[in-house]
Structure 1
Amino acid sequence: MDRGSDRDRLANRIAGEIATSDRPGETISKWRTDFEIAQSELAAELDVSPSVVSDYESGRRDNPGIAVVDRTVTALLAIDQRRGGRHIRQHARVISAGFDNTIVSDLREFSAAVPIDRYFEAIEATKLADGSRETVVGHTVIDSIEAITRLSSEEFYRLYGQSSNRALVFTNVTRGESPLVAMRVVNPTPNAVVLHGIESEDVWERAADLARVDGFALAATTLDLDAMLDRLAEQF
């Protein structure tokens, strides 16, 4: 995979989203926050005062022109690259798979097969059902509402990346009913499903039974999503 072209595609996507937004300042703020960059750090990279960044993001300044947008995107990517490029790689994987970041927030392959119980332990997940398979080799983190309402069955299958031997992590979950029902029409099923942001006792009462029928492990976690992704990047 060409790292340079991945970065270029990501830069074009961010710049295009900012330039076409009705509220470009808010879109800049969204991407800056997503890259975990403080206003002061972005300002230093741009060689402007933090108040300039704040004014653009709040809409107190006129909409930024193309030159400002390009400089801002370049600065965001440069800062992340110096930190190791985690966010660049994360978004590049999603773009390569043909999704936008409102649907998929992380898609990665692990360096080796990971026991499902170890994966659950790393993300502080409570297991609700055992599956018929023992390992995962990657995961995909998905917004449950966006995925279920916007993806076709063929597009849903692409969430598996290189292999269905993975975990699908559903965010924006209320009870877990929709993801579990969606799994009934997906073939093949993943090795594990994680319901993110919900306590285990609040999970739909039939969820575990459906997981057992379809043969995948099921768990729930309330661990902060960024903390979860950081842990997985460090461990796997």
Structure 2
Amino acid sequence: MRDPRAELAERIAGEVTLSDDPGATLRKWREEFDVAQTTLADELDVSASVISDYESGRRENPGIQVVRRVVEGLLDVDERRGGDRVRQHARVISAGFDKEVVYDLREYSATAPLSRFYQTIDAETVVPGQADTIAGHTVINSVEAIKRLSSEEFYRLYGQSTNRALVFTNVTRGESPLVALRVVTPTPSAVVLHGIERDDLWEHAPALARADGVSLATTTKPLDSLLDALRDFP
């Protein structure tokens, strides 16, 4: 298997180089790594205004040497912080998924209380399930998953265990993820629908969850905040 750091560096550099707005793409990745402009500037030994100028387009498009330095700088900062972003990328890629489909996929070293998982992501329980604990989680872009994954690939969302929480983002009422889960067996321990309030939930969703013994919850916690919270879970 390729070195996850090198693979992620190649992906970021390629995305920036091919982007119609390289500055905006650089900013997206800097924010993805949760690195402030001043922190990145210190890492590269330049002024913060240089980073700002590239991201805003006030400077001409960065050349490959600039892109390489920025990418290496972001990865170095992440490495000193413990390498969370690189590890997250490696987990998703090793499971055979694109980052546009799966935002995070993780197995826990020991089972964790489902109630604490819900608390971490500010989720409201709609239907209690049969499981009190989970052994992992997967955060999924529901639209991309349904458009691009076969039933076999959909099953791989479970990672190493079906005793996990599947968090579906980009949902409107929750019909598609819940119907898809009825086709793919076995079912997960918990399903969280991200971006909607309980009152906006599809009217048949609770009944489907009860029929399968699956815990169902909703959350409106911003996606970036949700992913950040899960990096420290359990």
TM-score by length of 2: 0.92
| Alignment partner, residue 132 of structure 2 | 134
Counterparts of 1:139 and 1:233, CA distance in 2: 11
Letter in 2 for 1:29: R
Could you tell me which residue of structure 1 aligns to residue 23 of structure 2? 25
* Cα gap change, 1:227 to 1:70, in 2 (>3 Å): same
State the partner residue of 1:227: 225
Counterpart amino acid of 2:54?
Y
The one-letter amino acid of 1:107's match is: L
CA drift at 1:202: 1.5
Q: Shift in Å at residue 218 of structure 1?
A: 0.6
1:179 offset after TM fit, Å?
Answer: 1.2
Query: Does the Cα contact within 8 Å between 1:176 and 1:207 map onto a contact in 2?
Result: yes
2:122 is matched with which residue: 113, 121, 124?
A: 124
The AA in structure 2 aligned to 1:169 is V
Q: Aligned to 1:168, which of 166, 169, 192?
A: 166
Residue correspondence of structure 1 range 91-110 to structure 2 within 5 A: 91-110=89-108
SS at match of 1:175: coil
Residue 219 of structure 1, CA deviation: 0.6
Amino acid at match of 2:156: R
Provide the rounded CA distance (Å) in 1 between the counterparts of 2:94 and 2:20.
26
Q: Distance in 1 between the 2:93 and 2:30 partners?
A: 18
Deviation at 1:140, TM superposition (A): 0.5
For 2:226, the aligned partner's letter is M
- Structure 2 unaligned runs (5+)? none
Gaps spanning 5+ residues in structure 1: where? none
CA contact (8 A) 1:10 1:95 kept: no
- The residue number in structure 2 matching 1:147 is 145
74-83 or 97-106: which moved more?
97-106
Q: Take 2:227 and 2:109, find their aligned partners in 1: how far apart are those partners?
A: 15
Where 1:141 maps in the other structure, the secondary structure is strand
Distance 2:152 2:16 in 1: 30
Indicate if the aligned counterparts of 1:24 and 1:57 stay in contact, CA closer than 8 A.
Answer: yes
One-letter amino acid of the structure 1 residue matched with residue 78 of structure 2: D
**C-alpha distance in 1, partners of 2:226/2:54?**
31
Distance 2:36 2:230 in 1: 23
Distance 1:182 1:217 in 2: 16
Deviations, residues 151-201 of structure 1 (Å, cap 9, x unaligned): 221221121111121110011222112211211211222111001122112
Q: Deviations over 1:199-225 (max 9, x none)?
A: 112211111111122221111112233
Could you say what secondary structure the match of 2:126 adopts?
A: strand
Cα deviation for residue 7 of structure 1 reads 1.2
Identity %: 64
The residue type equivalent to 1:74 in the other structure is E
Range with greater deviation from structure 2 (40-49 or 219-228): 219-228
Q: Secondary structure at the match of 2:3?
A: helix
